[in-house]
Amino acid sequence: MLKKILCLALVVMMICAMSITVSAADEGKVVYENDFSDPATIADFKQYRSIWEVADGKLWIVGPSEEITDAESFGHILLNKEVTWKNYIVEADLENVQTSTGIISRADITKADASSANSFAGFLGFLSNNAKSGAMGRTNPADITAWGGNYEGSVIAAGTDMGSSVHMKVTVIDDTFTLEIFDLNTGVELYNNIVVSEEWTSGTVGFRARFNNAGTGASSLNIVSFDNLKVTLLDEEVETTAAATEAVTTEAATEATTTEATVDTTVTPTVPEGTPATGDSTVLLAFACAAIACCAAIVVFKKKSVR
């Protein structure tokens, strides 16, 4: 009996250690966060081939730039920071998605430009042109005007469709690029895929969206919106980049376009309740496990004393 109790105590203590380890792995430093409640924060971004605005508590793509004649092309917007962020999580809510729309990560802002729909110079996690599949692709590092293609095996049906709202989460760690997509209203995971690539190694974040899609009749303009953008540097990045990113939300982008356009508020999606943080529950679990382990040890001690 004593051996069983000792074994139980050891198992519980191992669970405690695992919980604490997982919690530590998830820790990081939030270096940029924007709920788009302040229209002035559009100045944090640099816009390419497209006009974006912050209105009604969200970020909207409202049209192509004047020089863009292809109504079916794409526009992108990047957080205007010349950073070397390598290992981090970038996540946001993408609401009322109509056609190809996604999150850019590890974008080299020194190379990104408006020369093509693909010149965001980084990775892209996105919903497909028909909004039915998740996918992962990139700019061609050898020619930033060219699409580098979707990563093999990354185009997977997500159970989404035109009008779906999702929470998209991209994690980049060393040569690993992970995309997770969740239903924004229920929190159910719809897509989870990992690719290994050394093509884009560090950089800023942003969004990319297709203006219109004649094939499906879809349009993103004044319809799709973005909310609750957050960038979290993972542990190994925090110490080396903290000083450079401390004031990321306070510096205005000198080249950012601030042109405004009227937003059709009749199509603004309902904002769902946020997902609660899990850090506190992990700590509580660790304390509970430790308490159980202590109790088991006391029982063992008492049993031995009786003998």
Mean pLDDT of 29-42: 98
Give the pLDDT of residue 23: 40
Write down the pLDDT at residue 237. Answer: 58
Residue 59 three-state SS? strand
Cβ atoms of residues 162 and 98 within 8 Å: yes
Q: Is the pLDDT of residue 192 over 90?
A: yes
Q: Is the model's pLDDT at 117 over the cut of 60?
A: yes
Q: Is 1 or 253 the better-scoring residue by pLDDT?
A: 1
In the chain, domain spans: 1-27+277-307, 35-275
- What does the alpha-carbon distance between residue 284 and residue 292 come to, in Å, rounded to a whole number? 12
Give the span between the Cα atoms of 173 and 180, in whole angstroms.
14
Contacts of 190 (CB under 8 A, 6+ apart): 134, 158, 159, 160, 166, 181, 182, 183
Residue 126 β-bridge partners: 102, 135
Residue 176 has pLDDT above 70, yes or no: yes
How far is it between the farthest Cα atoms of the chain? 89
pLDDT digits (tens, 9 = 90+) for 120-170: 999 999 999 999 999 999 999 999 999 999 999 999 999 999 999 999 999
Per-residue pLDDT band for 235 (boundaries 50, 70, 90) equals confident
**Which residue, chain included where needed, has tokens 């989460």?**
169
Distance CA 22, CA 280 (A): 13
Please determine, for residue 63, whether its predicted confidence score (pLDDT) is greater than 50: yes
pLDDT in tens, 201-213: 999 999 999 999 9
Q: Cα separation of 40 and 44, whole Å?
A: 8
Dihedral class, residue 156 (left if φ above 0, else alpha if ψ from -120 to 50, else beta): beta
Compute the average pLDDT of residues 193-200: 97
DSSP per-residue letters across 178-223: EEEEEETTT--EEEEEEEE--S--S-EEEEEEESEETTTTEE-TTT
Q: Express as a percent the part of the chain with pLDDT over 90.
A: 67
Letter for the amino acid at 131?
A: A
Q: d(Cα 218, Cα 221) in Å, to the nearest integer?
A: 9
* Cross-strand partners of 225: 60, 95
CATH, domain range 35-275: 2.60.120.560
Q: Which two tokens stand for residue 185?
A: 């209203």
244 or 92: whose pLDDT is higher? 92
Q: What percent of the chain has pLDDT over 70?
A: 68
Which pTM does this prediction carry?
0.72
Type of residue numbered 11: V
